[in-house]
Structure 1
Amino acid sequence: MRQLFPLLFFALFFVLLAGANFYLAKRFSFYFDLRNPRFMLATFAGLTIFMLAGIIGFTNAQGTFANSVYIAASIIMGFLLYLLLAVAAVDLLNLLVKTNAKMQGLASVALAVAITGGGILNAQYKRISKEEIAIPGLHSNITIAHLSDIHIGHFWGPKTLQKIVDKTNAQQPDVVFITGDLFDGKIRLTSKSLEPLTHLNAPVYFVEGNHDGYSGAKEIKQKLRHIGVEVLENEVTHFNQLQIIGLNHMRATNNDPGMHGTAAKPSMQSVLSQLNIFPDKPTVLLHHSPDGIELANKYGVNLYLAGHTHNGQLFPFNFVVRGVYQYNKGLKKFKETSIYTSQGVGTFGPPMRVGTKSEIVILKLKPSAK
């Protein structure tokens, strides 16, 4: 049954998409007194097809035209989502406050435009999230910066990365951990895009995410190693007082197909059992998605750093992600293991954040009182 989940998900997605198109077409035909809703249905269907084709077909495409199509399709995706929610909200409000049909239509469009514009602005503002975590075995404080889901690609490039680097340096971390999805397509997969990382004033460690795999993980890792970033691939290393475990993006257990793993690939369960891990040393685990917390705890991990979820990125998907991932955002704990799931500092798809934030995570690790 679990193997059928992706098929069921996509079937439900397209059913909901078709329903949304019919709903918007009927409402806008009513708003603007169009006797035949076919024109509006064709309009919304056309926008939906363009949106899907632009995002799916041009994610890894390169060149000015491809970039323009992807940008337009992604912004249309966000706009249509909030147009649908705006129309529903206006319909509900109209039950209490009666207004004419044209006014309802104009109000719906204005609300969707405002939310879309606000979401684009919000995504560009990179916030600093700070936490303190007590780690057994530490002898002195260590400040770490956790960056995840930067998604260099059609929207975010070296200028954005430089701003992230400058904000990170201002926090004076001792070490920087990047937990995947550094890239989001091949369009800016160049050494120039990564050059800002050379300005970080601390050692940098990287593990891959699923979007790095789509973009070309091997090439990304080669370029990172060339500029001095330490790339971890299912291995253990050490920095200062910390033992660092870095894993490729994988499913948690051998029996879990996961969203991005198959039985042909290793799992956290199989990889961790083969690593030379010192159980009594302060340990940080780097993995792209917040899966397998039980395994992390079993192998003595004190702090698990992950991303991937974006906390849904766009309302109301933050509620969906909360149902899918138990550790969907922020600092939480499972027994003796702390886990911080970053909401990400970039975006995927629409360059927008509504109800979520783009964050640079600064964690102060301090000796445990025990």
Structure 2
Amino acid sequence: MSSALFVALVLPLLAGVHYYVWRRMVRDTTTPGSAWRRGGTVLIVVLGLLLVAAPPGERALPAPLATAVGWPGFVWMAGILYLALALLVGEVPRLLLLRVERRRVTAAVTVPATPRTDSVSGTGSPEPASATDSPEPEPASAAPLHPSRRLFVGRAVALASGAAATAAVGYGAYTALGPPRIKHLTVPLARLDPAAHGFRIALISDIHLNVLVGRDRTRQLVDLLNGTEPDLVALVGDLVEDADVADQGRAAEPLADLRATHGAFFVTGNHEFYSGAAQWVRFVRGLGLRTLRNERLALPGFDLAGVEDESGAEQGDGPDYEAALGGRDRDRAVVLLAHQPAQVEEAARYGVDLQLSGHTHGGQLWPFNHLMGLSEPNVAGLSRHGDTLLYVTRGTGFWGPPVRLGAEPDITVLELTSPRA
């Protein structure tokens, strides 16, 4: 996203959301001029500035400072999302509580009728009562709600919303930063040679090494992958999050310890191209991984192919499906590694049996895990597109906030089976 577009579209939206949260969490829960109101206002402003500074700070700031800015800034990305959603839901009980309080005040106030005075004598003696002179209470709208009651309602809604948002972010952070789930899936391929029956591919994607996670995370993932005892490891892009080898190379070094019968393979993702794909391809090769850049090779019982990410086209280095898939033996099954699920459209045209992808993070944050289906052919799991199967892993990392809600990270072990075995 260009800087001009960010300033024109995103900043006003962020400012509006922060103002709404400030009104409900600070203004409606404190008294004017109080230390609580001043402190709450400063906190909202500072968190908003950290949120804006965190993404560019990953590359522009020294590593310790980028981490110091990144943790509160990125966590607040998820925090303000769920706080705003909780407050929006809280608008209904807020209105109901205010109405209940107004009725309570009105019922507690009795307004007597004002005695009528003698307009001639001025004695103030009441005139004889008539049928039309019976006193009536003032309407409910005339009974103002005391500020303390408004504060009570505002604090009740703010407390409930804050608790809900904190629980969501806390659970999401625990999920995102914890070990990914190891999933096992059997995938039958009609053209798979019996020699490859039972072939096991350990699929991992979207590690997103950044200022919040590093070498220890990579070591954890390598140990988990090796523990599955795969025939092949496939890393389908987004190893890093917009970082140079000089900044995150050391964090990726444990990948050199990957162990698989037929080796470990890598294809680029969009974030490699944001970071400089050539440097990362060289580095990954140096770690012993085989990179497939619009290439294909024969394995026992099937072909394995890999194409560049679609974002590489902007740099003249995009996917070349003809180079990777053209001129092959159509009697052999072919498995394609491609970062983005949307690349299945071209894969299906070339008769690919199975495409393995990542990119989506499974939506990463609720409700985006449900909304992403509007733009992606498959957000997570196995699906069929013509004669081509597509499997999408949720990946093991995160973009932006270190939070996953409704989209737990995973490593998937796919066992290929042949109907002729």
1:219 to 256, 279, 282: 279
Pair 1:6–1:267, CA change in 2 (3 A) = farther
In structure 1, C-alpha distance between the alignment counterparts of 2:324 and 2:254, rounded to whole Å: 36
3-state SS of 1:130 partner: strand
Q: Deviations over 1:71-107 (max 9, x none)?
A: 2211121111111122223333445667732122222
Alpha-carbon separation, structure 2, partners of 1:263 and 1:168:
33
The residue number in structure 2 matching 1:73 is 73
1:352 equivalenced with 2:349 (yes/no): no
Q: CA 1:269–1:48 in 2, change beyond 3 Å: closer, same or farther?
A: same
Structure 1 residues 42 and 241: alpha-carbon distance in aligned structure 2, compared to 1, 3 A threshold: same
SS in 2 for 1:243: strand
CA distance in 2, matches of 1:38, 1:278: 71
- Pick closer, same or farther for the CA change 1:195–1:8 going to 2, 3 Å: closer
1:239 to 268, 274, 299: 299
Instruction: Report what 1:288 is aligned to.
Output: 339
Q: Secondary structure at the match of 2:342?
A: coil
Distance 1:218 1:267, change over 3 A: closer
| Greater share of residues in helix | 2
Q: Helix, strand or coil: the match of 1:54?
A: helix
Over the aligned positions, Cα root-mean-square deviation in angstroms equals 2.9
8 Å contact from structure 1 (residues 189, 220) kept in 2: no
Where in structure 2 are the equivalents of 1:180-195 lying within 5 Å?
180-184=237-241, 185-186=243-244, 188-191=247-250, 193-195=252-254
Q: Single out whichever of 42-51 and 102-111 deviates more from structure 2.
A: 42-51
Indicate if the aligned counterparts of 1:87 and 1:108 stay in contact, CA closer than 8 A.
yes
| Code of the aligned partner of 2:234 | F
Written as runs of structure 1 = structure 2, the 5 A alignment for 1:1-370 is 12-35=9-32, 43-59=43-59, 61-94=61-94, 100-123=153-176, 124-138=178-192, 139=194, 140-184=197-241, 185-186=243-244, 188-191=247-250, 193-202=252-261, 203-250=263-310, 260=311, 265=316, 267-268=318-319, 271-272=322-323, 275-368=326-419
Whole-angstrom distance in 2 between the partners of 1:148 and 1:30: 44
Tell me if structure 2 keeps the 8 A contact 1:236–1:277: no
Partner of 2:147: none
Distance 1:369 1:333, change over 3 A: farther
The 2-side partners of 1:306 and 1:229 are apart by 18
Query: Which range is displaced more, 158-167 or 171-180?
Result: 158-167
114-123 or 88-97, larger mean C-alpha shift: 88-97
Write the letter of the residue equivalent to 1:248: E
Q: Secondary structure at the match of 2:341?
A: coil
Query: Deviations for 1:5-41, whole angstroms, at most 9, x for unmatched residues?
Result: 9998985544432331222122124431344899866
Task: Count residues in correspondence.
Answer: 358
Give the letter aligned to residue 158 of structure 1: R
Q: 1:309 to 1:192 in 2, by over 3 A?
A: closer
Check conservation: 1:277, 1:299, Cα contact below 8 A: no
User: In 2, distance between residues paired with 1:267 and 1:218?
Assistant: 13
Residue range with higher mean Cα deviation, 119-128 or 190-199: 190-199
What is the alpha-carbon distance in structure 2 between the residues aligned to residue 155 and residue 270 of structure 1?
35
Q: CA deviation at 1:310?
A: 0.9
| Alpha-carbon distance, 1:309 to partner | 0.9
Summarize the Cα distance change of 1:163–1:291 in structure 2 as closer, same or farther, 3 Å threshold. Answer: same
Shift of 1:323: 1.1
Structure with the bigger RCO (C-alpha within 8 Å, sep 6+) is 1
Q: What TM-score does the superposition give when structure 1 sets the normalisation length?
A: 0.86
Distance in 2 separating the partners of 1:264 and 1:193: 24
When residues 369 and 113 of structure 1 are mapped into structure 2, their CA distance, relative to the original with a 3 A threshold, is: same
Q: Secondary structure at the match of 2:14?
A: helix
SS at match of 1:347: coil
Q: What CA deviation, in whole Å up to 9, does each residue of 1:176-230 have, x standing for no partner?
A: 1000001122375224632244243441000011112223322222222122110
Residue type at the aligned position of 1:28: M
State the Cα distance separating 1:285 from its structure 2 match: 0.7
Which blocks of at least 5 consecutive residues in structure 2 are unaligned?
Answer: 101-151
Letter in 1 for 2:253: L
- 2:328 maps to amino acid: I
Q: State the match for 2:136 in structure 1.
A: none
CA distance 1:64–1:46, shift in 2 (3 Å): closer
Deviation at 1:261, TM superposition (A): 5.6
Over 3 Å counting, the alpha-carbon distance change for 1:262 and 1:8 in structure 2 is: farther
